[in-house]
Amino acid sequence: MNNKIKNVCVYCSSSNSLEDIYYKDAENLGVLLAKNNYNVVYGGSKLGLMYKVAKSAKDNGSKVIGVMPAKLYDLGVSEAFCDEFYLTKEMRERKATLDEKSDAVIALAGGFGTLEELSEMIVQKQLCYNNKAIVILNTNGFYNDLLNFFEKIISEKFAAKDSKNLYYVANSPDEVIKYLNSYKFDDTKSQKEELIHNVLSK
């Protein structure tokens, strides 16, 4: 394991009504994260893919950190097995806490919330506010249309040509782990040079 990555945040659906393939990948990812000595940071829920990743990671030895806003907590959807649990006032604070507690992020299949979280992390990395590994787990081709849209953004010069280097697309949980294990953080100087390049090369 790359010893600079310890806590991995997962963004994903809280739905219990998805096709089995999504839950299978979420569960397998949790197992692999644990076996590779990564802790899991997630939204604290006992629902959907979020629960599957966290539960399988916990069952296989990972420390699990949950973060949930009070409004959702009051609905009774929080999970009690978290080793650490942070209650936030609202969603913006939740996202900030997830960011603060993690060294890398993985977006599994999800809805509007997942898309928002993924987009924010890509922009933060683009502007050198973070240097985290950002992985998109493209189970069942779920993100194909979004990735095509990303290509359109780049091809029409709304983003720099190498913006696709800000994130990595994995087609299986095994690919996710291989990427995390080999990920190398850029130094501050390299990040600043990358920011200048991103701004000027559109």
Amino acid at 144: N
Beta strands in the chain (DSSP E): 7-11, 39-42, 64-69, 84-88, 104-107, 133-137, 168-170
Each domain of the chain, given as residue ranges in start order, spans 7-200
Q: Class of the 7-200 domain?
A: alpha beta
User: How far apart are alpha carbons 169 and 135 in whole angstroms?
Assistant: 6
Separation CA 29–CA 56 (nearest Å): 8
170 beta partners: 137
pTM: 0.91
User: How open is the CA angle 159-162-163, to the nearest 5 degrees?
Assistant: 50
Tell me the per-residue pLDDT of 45-88, one tens digit each, with 9 for 90 and over: 999 999 999 999 999 999 999 999 999 999 998 988 999 999 99
CA–CA distance, 26 with 191 (Å, rounded to integer): 32
1-48 pLDDT per residue, tens? 445 899 999 999 999 999 999 999 999 999 999 999 999 999 999 999
Residue-wise pLDDT for 5-16, tens only, equals 999 999 999 999
Pairing of strands 133-137, 104-107: parallel
Q: What average pLDDT is seen over the chain?
A: 92
Distance CA 31, CA 110 (A): 20
Torsions phi, psi for 105 (to 5 deg)? -135, 145
Residues 189, 195, 200, 202: is their CA dihedral positive or negative? positive
